[in-house]
A = this chain, B = another copy of it.
Amino acid sequence: MERRSNGARRQPTMKQVAEAAGVHVSTVSRALNPATRSMVVRSVASRVLKAAKTLGYRVDPVAASLRTGRSHLVGMLIPDISTNVFAPILSGAIERLSNSGYSVLVAYVPSDPEQQLDLVQGLVARRVDGLILATVTRQDPLVSFCLEQGIPAVLVNRSEQVARLSAVVSDDAAGMRLAVDHLVELGHRRIAHIAGPLEHSTGFLRKAGFMQALWAHGIDAAAAPCEVAGTYTREQGRAAAERLLQRHREVTAIVAANDLLALGVYDALRETGRECPKDVSVVGHNDMPLVDLVQPGLTTVRISHFEMGRQTADLLEQAIQDPGGAVRNVVLQPVLIVRSSTARPRHATSRKNEARMSGVVPRVRQQKTARQ
């Protein structure tokens, strides 16, 4: 049976290389694999290498995979919505992984846990060397499965409640601290939060971080207005903000768990005849593309998702190399980008507003990366 229906001649096999070099296939195999090359005498090795090169030989990854159980393939599980946050993560991960000879299988994760397991089993059947999970909830059965099966896996963007697998995340609490500090500095005391889905660490930890940050300023966090958005969308942000504004007319600032939610807050403010930042200041999270161009330019907590993707790739490679290795947690430090959506509250008694900016270039508050 022909592999291709047309007459293209197939790739040369290892056997052909062996014949060309006048050695046995097993010798070719040893010579071609850097790890076993030392088993072969130098002169033979170079003869084999040359023959392989002239024939344009490349090892058949499928056959090798069948034999070794490894594939140089990694699976990446992404939520089924194509958002601005996962694209750069994917991009960063692919860049790094392809440099190390891995190919990336991208799969959108179904919401049904049963189907999720099925998906992962399918990837395992393909002998993926490891998995990147960008979708976990705070206690995810997929993680249990990977652990049970001994599948190297790392988390990105979202982490679990207890660290069972290595992960790369942003310091969500620190991000909220940056946001709240900034608002308090401007003179705000009535600060509200639009939380993201609490089953994800981002939603949960940002909410917790928000409350902690309030406490640190002596503000009663338990009494702070907070509405939870069901998903990270502009629509849900708008709906949550509407509920919030109806119940708490006194708020002068809203910290949203995410830029999309913040833009929903814009919608709600516009709809209720409030002006941002004059009546209400708004802070987002992520600093996704174009939020500098919306009106008013969004003050937000910047996360480098691209960098997250790259570091995730690094962690995964380590997990593949050393399956029993320690669980690592890489926590990237976010940065506050001050634009025009935050200002002094209407009747503030604080010192002069320092948040408003004239130019496009944002003021950066801090930037560093920590490994824990």
Q: Is the CB of A84 within 8 A of B294?
A: no
Contact with B along A74-112 (1 / 0, CB 8 A): 000000111010011011001100100001111110000
Q: Which of A82, A106, A121, A126 has the most CB of B within 10 A?
A: A82
Q: Is the CB of B323 within 8 A of A5?
A: yes
With an 8 A cutoff between CB atoms, is A24 at the interface?
Answer: no
Determine which of B66, B94, B263, B295 lies in contact with A108 in the assembled complex, contact meaning CB atoms within 8 Å.
B94
With an 8 A cutoff between CB atoms, is A69 at the interface?
Answer: yes
Contact A263-B105, Cβ < 8 Å, known A66-B63, A125-B61: no
A175 CB to nearest chain B CB (Å) = 21
A298 (CB) vs chain B CBs: closest residue: B293
| Interface residues in A273-311 (C-beta closer than 8 Å to B) | 289-291, 293-295, 306
Q: Is the CB of A8 within 8 A of B290?
A: no
Contact with B along A195-231 (1 / 0, CB 8 A): 0000000000000000000000000000000000000
With an 8 A cutoff between CB atoms, is A127 at the interface?
Answer: yes
With an 8 A cutoff between CB atoms, is A42 at the interface?
Answer: no
Determine which of B62, B81, B151, B293 lies in contact with A62 in the assembled complex, contact meaning CB atoms within 8 Å.
B62
A142 CB to nearest chain B CB (Å) = 15
CA distance A289 to B90 in the complex (A): 19
Residues of B within 8 Å of A66, CB to CB, are: 62-63, 66
With an 8 A cutoff between CB atoms, is A365 at the interface?
Answer: no
With an 8 A cutoff between CB atoms, is A3 at the interface?
Answer: yes
Q: How many residues of A contact B (CB 8 A)?
A: 59
A58 (CB) vs chain B CBs: closest residue: B125
Residues of B within 8 Å of A61, CB to CB, are: 122, 125-126
A367 CB to nearest chain B CB (Å) = 21
With an 8 A cutoff between CB atoms, is A4 at the interface?
Answer: yes
With an 8 A cutoff between CB atoms, is A71 at the interface?
Answer: yes
CA distance A38 to B317 in the complex (A): 45
CA distance A149 to B3 in the complex (A): 11
With an 8 A cutoff between CB atoms, is A349 at the interface?
Answer: no
Residues of B within 8 Å of A263, CB to CB, are: 290, 293
Residues of B within 8 Å of A250, CB to CB, are: none
With an 8 A cutoff between CB atoms, is A354 at the interface?
Answer: no
Q: Is the CB of B107 within 8 A of A103?
A: yes
Determine which of B68, B90, B126, B127 lies in contact with A106 in the assembled complex, contact meaning CB atoms within 8 Å.
B90
Residues of A within 8 A of B (CB): 1, 3-6, 8, 11, 58-63, 65-66, 68-69, 71, 73, 80-82, 84, 87-88, 90-91, 94-95, 98, 103-108, 121-123, 125-127, 148-151, 263, 266-267, 289-291, 293-295, 306, 323-324, 360
Show 25 A/B contacts (Cβ-Cβ < 8 Å), sorted by A.
Answer: A1-B68, A4-B151, A5-B323, A8-B150, A60-B125, A61-B125, A61-B126, A62-B62, A62-B66, A62-B71, A62-B125, A82-B87, A82-B88, A82-B306, A90-B106, A94-B106, A98-B108, A103-B107, A103-B122, A103-B123, A103-B126, A267-B360, A293-B293, A293-B295, A294-B295
